[in-house]
Amino acid sequence: MNHYVGIDVSLEASSLCVVDANGKIAREGKVASEPDALIAWLRRLKLELARIGLEAGPLSQWLYAAMRQAGLAVELLETRHVHTALETMPVKSDRNDARGIAQLMRLGWFRPVHCKSMAAQETRALLTARKLLQTKLHDLELSLRGVLRGFGLKVGPTTPARFAERIRELVARHPSLEVIADGLLAARVALRREFDCFEKQVRDAARCDTRARLLM
């Protein structure tokens, strides 16, 4: 008899529920949210697992890739679809969510989503890190402008290369502001250095990518 598995993934541990073709719960458990632990638990069942479902999330793609590689019939489920399907459950818990996902797999009421390759996930992580530093760099410069504006010191239009020089000109006769400016400008230098490293990696990757070159 075919069996169906629902996995509710959390940061530390995942809840699992196995149901048979009639919807009866055959096994339940909770294991660490690690590929080896999940694969070992499922293989110890000695059951014919027709479908295994887990909701898309921060850890899900990593777990999905490992379970696929192990030869398991796992599906990555669209988050909003699962949330809507489980809304009717009277009690919200990891255990009940796993039960609900198992029933969705049994009935076929699910929408699989594409799992990005590891290379695509690495590119996305690089772009996210670059954007984070770019945002913090912009916020720091705006904050420095705001601090000086409170003392009537207007930075005005400037370029990235002249920004630090302009700030030092304005705080030259203000000892307390000099200390503040030195600290923030030192942080700006560090952010700019790391941002430039990420920028170079992104540009190098774009030059080697046929699709990116077409867009450029």
Model confidence pLDDT, tens digit, residues 192-204 = 999 999 999 999 9
Residues 6 or more apart in contact with residue 96 via CB below 8 angstroms:
86, 89
74 and 39 in a common domain = yes
Name the range with the highest mean pLDDT among 16-20, 83-87, 108-112.
16-20
97 and 122 in a common domain = no
CB 56 within 8 A of CB 78: yes
pLDDT of amino acid 209: 87
Residues 6 or more apart in contact with residue 42 via CB below 8 angstroms:
5, 16, 49, 52, 72
Cα three-residue angle 54-55-58, rounded to 5 degrees? 110
The percentage of the chain sitting over the pLDDT mark of 90, rounded to a whole number, equals 70
CATH code of residue 19 = 3.30.420.40
Joined tokens for residue 175: 């000892």
Strand order in the sheet with 25-32: 25-32, 13-20, 2-9, 48-55, 74-77
Confidence of residue 111 (pLDDT cuts 50, 70, 90): confident
Structural domains counted in the chain? 2
C-alpha to C-alpha distance for 213 and 205, rounded to whole angstroms: 10
Q: How many CB atoms lie within 10 A of CB 197?
A: 13
123 and 60 in a common domain = no
169 and 93 in a common domain = no
Task: Kindly give the residue spans of alpha helices, DSSP state H, lying in the chain.
Answer: 35-44, 60-69, 79-86, 94-107, 118-149, 163-170, 175-207, 210-215
Which domain, by its residues, includes 102? 2-107
142 and 62 in a common domain = no
Joined tokens for residue 133: 């530093």
175 and 202 in a common domain = yes
- pTM of the full structure: 0.73
86 and 6 in a common domain = yes
Q: Which of 39, 74, 107 is the last residue of a domain?
A: 107
207 and 153 in a common domain = yes
157 and 74 in a common domain = no
